[in-house]
Amino acid sequence: MLFSHISDTHLGLVQYGSDERAQDVYDSFNQSVDTSIKDHVEFVIFAGDIFHVPNPNGTAIVQMGNALKRLKENNIDSFFILGEHDISRIRTTPIPYVYHNLGFSKYIGQGNPFEYKGILFTGFDKIRKPEIPQYEEKFATVDSAAQKHSGHKIIVLHQGVTEFNKFAGEIQSTDLPKNFTYYAMGHLHDKDVKEFSHLSGPVAYPGSTESTTSEGIKEREKGFFEVDISRKEATPNWIKVETRPQFSFKTEYDELSKTVDEIAQKISDFSKKPIVEVRIQGENIETDHIQAQIARLNALVLRCFWKISTKQISDSTVFLDRPSVIDDEMFRLSVDTLGSEESAKFAIKELLPILVSGEIKEASQRIYENYQSFKKEKSK
């Protein structure tokens, strides 16, 4: 038996305010669904962050609906949970509930175990870090059900596990229920799979199906997992989807002209115009010269960004490819300034990437929702 594990599709994301990037998000998502249909999977799991914002635009809602319809027409069931991007902080009804109510897909985010084709299923919507201790009893309950079940057991979660990413970690692998044969994860945008001696199956992140603002610009592959559960062990197989190429180049200022020639040669044959970043290091830098050189790439790229790094000024791309020690220091300073880990994570993980990309309207919406949530918590 084969099923698909898809996560972090972020439908409705309009990166750089670009219609082309909005379509890229839909293209990669539809590839994952159509490949699942072609490969005759039994069912599909969507592990949260279906949409980029809790109030997505009409196109995003229709894209998801059409995809679920295609699955239904091919007798493929689907299941979903909610990520933090799907849940409004002011607790309005999440849009994906519509698909459950219409019978297009089954919502499984409340932690209630059930059987489907001999498989024990359960799932949990995004659990915010302060709420995690409240879920210990619920995890114990589903773990007990899994222990008693003789077939495969699948749990769907939208959480950062610390052993995968220290900075984005919210729970330890030891916090997870122990008796599931597959842990279908969402939240982290890079593909990764790990096995732990204290768990009964692999913990798998397929990553996002398209690059998002918070990931920076770099060469990467995107896709999803098709998971084989025909044997005792669950085996996730990586399926790549085609995405718009992204490249980051470093060059010395004195070598910029030569570097631009090399970039032009590298990116000239792609069906979709790439997104390019050029990081320039040197002294006595003249921005007019940089702009003139970068302009030579304009016809070949969707977007081209350039950043300057000098000996006197620290590299402005620190947020794109930073070592963990910088992550730790940034987080510590944010906690000191904002007064809590929750506020620091909101500022760094959610708000900062949006502001860097210039998406002011979305940033304002996030701040408003976060403030409303804060007021609600204070009034309790």
For 48-59, the pLDDT digits (tens) are 999 999 999 999
pLDDT at 367: 79
Cβ density class 19-56: b for 16+ within 10 Å, e for less: ebbbebbbbbbbbbbebbbeeebbbbbbbbbbbbbbeb
Least confident of 80-89, 116-125, 142-151, 200-209: 80-89
Q: Kindly state the average pLDDT of the residues 185-202.
A: 96
User: pLDDT tens, 291-332?
Assistant: 999 999 999 999 999 988 765 443 333 333 334 444 555 666
Residue 158 near residue 126, CB atoms below 8 Å: yes
Q: How confident is residue 257, by pLDDT bands cut at 50, 70 and 90? A: very high
Least confident of 13-22, 74-83, 96-105, 353-362: 353-362
Q: Tokens at residue 81, please?
A: 């949970």
Q: What is the largest CA-CA distance in the chain?
A: 70
Q: How confident is residue 203, by pLDDT bands cut at 50, 70 and 90? A: very high
Residue 229 near residue 152, CB atoms below 8 Å: yes
Residues 6+ apart with CB under 8 A from 225: 4, 5, 204, 206, 236, 237, 238, 239
Bridge-based pairing of strands 235-241 and 222-228 is antiparallel
8-state DSSP, 143: H
8-state DSSP, 208: -
In three-state secondary structure terms, 220 is coil
Burial tier of 86 (Cβ tally within 10 Å: 0-12, 13-18, 19+): buried
Q: How confident is residue 343, by pLDDT bands cut at 50, 70 and 90? A: confident
Q: What is the pTM of this model?
A: 0.81
pLDDT at 339: 67
Whole-angstrom Cα distance, residue 262 to residue 190? 28
Q: Kindly state the average pLDDT of the residues 226-241.
A: 97
**Residue 224: φ, ψ to 5°:** -155, 175
Query: Is residue 19 scored above 60 in pLDDT?
Result: yes
**Average model confidence (pLDDT) for the chain?**
88
User: pLDDT tens, 141-186?
Assistant: 999 999 999 999 999 999 999 999 988 888 999 999 999 999 999 9
Q: Tokens at residue 167, please?
A: 């900075």
Cβ density class 298-330: b for 16+ within 10 Å, e for less: eebbbbbebbbbeeeeebebebbeeeeeebeeb
Q: How far is CA 129 from CA 156, 175, 209, 221, in A?
A: 17, 12, 25, 29
Whole-angstrom Cα distance, residue 238 to residue 215? 20
